Amino acid sequence: MEQPTRRGIIVTMTGAIVAELMARGQRTPQPMPSPNAPRNENVPAGLDGADIPVKNGEAVIPPATWMEIKSEAQKLLEMATDFKKRVDRTNLSATLALPLVKEAHEIEKLAKKIQKQMKR
């Protein structure tokens, strides 16, 4: 008769413990969720809106932030309108001037800034 190995003894004991727990009606312990895990598992990481204040189920944007968004949106509209007028006056056969390209970049940066503020 062969002597049992340590691995065999551990496997046998583990199986016996699990069988005993199941017979008693106890479930095996489950891992605790991480406190840093998003509340909604269907949302990509960092986008679950954990820091957005909620009132009656709707996100609340502070009034100061909302006024800043409105003023920047007005500025964006003015910049875009001015940009369109300058592009309309430009000769189609010529390449766009460097100041126009820079202005388009500034418009894009402002639009992204507004977008980030609205996500907060």
pLDDT per residue as tens digits for the range 77-91:
999 999 988 888 887
pLDDT for res 106: 93
- Closest by CA position to 51, among listed 60, 42, 41, 63: 60
pLDDT for res 117: 84
Q: Higher pLDDT residue, 42 or 9? A: 9
> Taking 90 as the threshold, does the pLDDT of residue 109 lie above it?
yes
Pair 120, 52: CB distance under 8 Å: yes
Alpha helix segments (H runs only) across 25-97 = 63-89
Q: Higher pLDDT residue, 1 or 107? A: 107
Task: Please write the tens of the pLDDT for every residue from 23-67.
Answer: 777 666 677 777 776 666 565 555 555 555 566 666 667 778 888
> Taking 80 as the threshold, does the pLDDT of residue 4 lie above it?
no
Q: Count each helix (H run) and each strand (E run) in the chain, helices first.
A: 3, 2
> Taking 90 as the threshold, does the pLDDT of residue 17 lie above it?
no
Domain-wise residue ranges, the chain: 6-32+50-119
